[in-house]
Amino acid sequence: MRARLVETDFDIPALLAAVADPACGAQALFLGTVRNRNDGREVLAIDYSAYRSMAENVLARIVTDLESGEPGLRMALEHRLGRITVGGASIAIVAASPRRDAALDAVRRALQRVKTEAPIWKHEIYADGSRSWREQEPLVPTAP
């Protein structure tokens, strides 16, 4: 499966190998990492949680949609759950394509769709001992 939720560090070489193809002249890799400040507060870590079954379906649909819209595009997408400390990676997206523009564009579009469509949440843990849910993008059902 090339779109999934994981609990451990990403295996980047395995992700790149999953999309490798002799017809591709470009591989693009994006890693989202936990930064040490948000809204002026010192962040120590983020607990990621998800509505697992739905989130895995959404991630798979994003990959399928993007691949079906671009000839030769091959993608893999993983999102980590659980606690990730500052500097750790929370999401890995790889895309291989015959053309570099298509690979770079696919990574950007996949990330944007994950952020707005996947039922995944950040619970930030701050240096002062407090925590806060980050609830940013309301989910919207598609038109009936």
Partner 1 sequence: MKVRLLAFASAVAAIGSAEREWELASDLSVAELRQRLALDYPAIAPLLPRIAIAIDGALVHSSMVVRDGAEVALLPPVSGG
3-state class (DSSP) for residue 125: strand
Q: How far is the CB of 97 from partner 1 (least distance, A)?
A: 22
Residue ranges binding partner 1 (CB under 8 A): 32, 48-51, 53-55, 57, 79, 90-91, 111, 114-123, 133-142, 144
24 vs 62, which CB is nearer to partner 1? 62
Q: Which of 105, 101, 55 is nearest to 80 (CA)?
A: 55
26 vs 49, which CB is nearer to partner 1? 49
Q: How far is the CB of 27 from partner 1 (least distance, A)?
A: 20
Q: How far is the CB of 98 from partner 1 (least distance, A)?
A: 27
